[in-house]
Amino acid sequence: MNREDIEFTGEGGVTLRGWFYPAENAQTPAPVIVLVHGMSCVKEMHLDDYASVFAQAGLNALVYDHQNFGDSDGTPRQELDPVLQYRDIRNAITYASNRPEVDPARVGIWGTSFAGGHALMVAAIDKRVKAIVSQVPFISGPATLDRLIRPDFLPHVRENFNADRANRFNGGEPTMLAAVTPDPMGQAAMPQPDAYEWFTKTAADRAPNWKNELTARSLELAGEYNPGSFISQISPTPLLMIVADEDACTPYALALDAYERAREPKQLIVTHGGHFDFYDGKNFDEVSAAARDHFTKHLRP
């Protein structure tokens, strides 16, 4: 698959790096899909597979690493700031729209996991977006923390957030937290066993620059983020939401509730499986084809 190494400027003047996949067999400027990954992920973690599916269908595709992660610049390293991330999606749209291969009137966004929430928010506020796919989306930080962190652990977690704030205020280094852990009772941003299995295997196989750490502030910022509250504002941009009925990372019930608040035109696909079956597992062919068809339908000339 033909692709080009790219870089463009993100929020705060930070350089973001990624890949551009030109639409195959395109004789005139074609649509572009901006693809964005989830919590702590880097672009090598199967974004290239989705981009290839889209490019083969005559769609340009752009993938990149969030600032502070992977090949992109930014500090503190390994810090997830949802506001910077969704604003950088808009910067990526601007960059892509100025490429000669791209028809700027036909822009789609595809976000998965944490960036599935970003996609909802960006589609609601940036009407350059003409089609959106939100896959196993992060809907609500407060609701997700309540579901994924034991109530007796929450006071300790909040004490750690406060201690980290004080330490950073006084010039200390950010407190770091594991992204995943083999111990379901251990402290990690994603303590689920399937998260540990997928991240460590995928990093070993194809993403050596992934790091099993996040700043503690990343979890605090994620817990304040509520992108699902924007979902009713996406219309009339066509929405496709794809969820998994055994998702233990981004609770699918929250996604279904959010989908009910979305206005038409909208489509929901519920697949059988877990959160990570969408990347290299049994559901990839189904959901990548569904996303491709959604974009080709709604981004026609």
β partners of residue 16: 8
Q: Tally the domains of the chain.
A: 1
Task: For residues 123 and 119, give the distance between their C-alpha atoms in angstroms, rounded to a whole number.
Answer: 6
Residue 21 within any structural domain of the chain:
yes
Within-domain flag for 258 = yes
Number of Cβ within a 10 Å radius of residue 167: 14
Q: Which two tokens stand for residue 211?
A: 């790091």
Who's near 24: CB < 8 A, 6+ residues apart?
A: 55, 56, 57, 58
Strands (E), the chain: 4-9, 15-21, 30-36, 60-64, 102-112, 129-135, 176-177, 214-215, 239-244, 266-271
CA 175 from centre of chain? 23
d(CA 137, CA 38): 9
Neighbouring-strand partners of residue 112: 135
- Give me the DSSP letters along 234-286: -TTS-EEEEEETT-TTTTHHHHHHHHHHSPSSEEEEEESS-GGGGTSSTTHHH
Nearest residue to 260 via CA among 228, 285, 218, 287: 228
- Residue of 192, 288, 171 whose CA lies nearest to 247: 192
CATH number, domain containing residue 75: 3.40.50.1820
Question: Could you read off the pLDDT tens digit of each residue along the chain, which spans 301 residues?
Answer: 799 999 999 999 999 999 999 999 999 999 999 999 999 999 999 999 999 999 999 999 999 999 999 999 999 999 999 999 999 999 999 999 999 999 999 999 999 999 999 999 999 999 999 999 999 999 999 888 777 666 676 777 788 888 889 988 999 999 999 999 998 777 888 888 999 999 999 999 999 999 999 999 999 999 999 999 999 999 999 999 999 999 989 999 999 999 999 999 999 999 999 999 999 878 999 999 999 999 999 999 8
Q: Quick one: pLDDT at residue 150? A: 64
Is there a domain that residue 284 lies in? yes
290 falls within a domain: yes
Residue 34 belongs to what domain range?
4-139+225-298
> Does 159 fall in a domain?
no
pLDDT computed for residue 149 by the predictor: 67
- With b for 16 or more beta-carbon neighbours within 10 A and e for fewer, the 22-58 pattern comes to bbbebeebbbbbbbbbbbbbbbbbbbbebbbbbbebb
Instruction: Examine residue 148 and state whether it is found in any structural domain, yes or no.
Output: no
CA distance 88 to 150: 33
Distance CA 252, CA 270 (A): 9
Q: What per-residue confidence (pLDDT) applies to 145?
A: 77
| 245 in any annotated domain | yes
DSSP 300: -
Specify the pLDDT at position 10. 98
Instruction: Give the number of other Cβ atoms within 10 Å of residue 208's Cβ.
Output: 10
Token duo for residue 45? 């973690």
In a domain, 145, yes or no: no
Give residue 36's pLDDT. Answer: 98
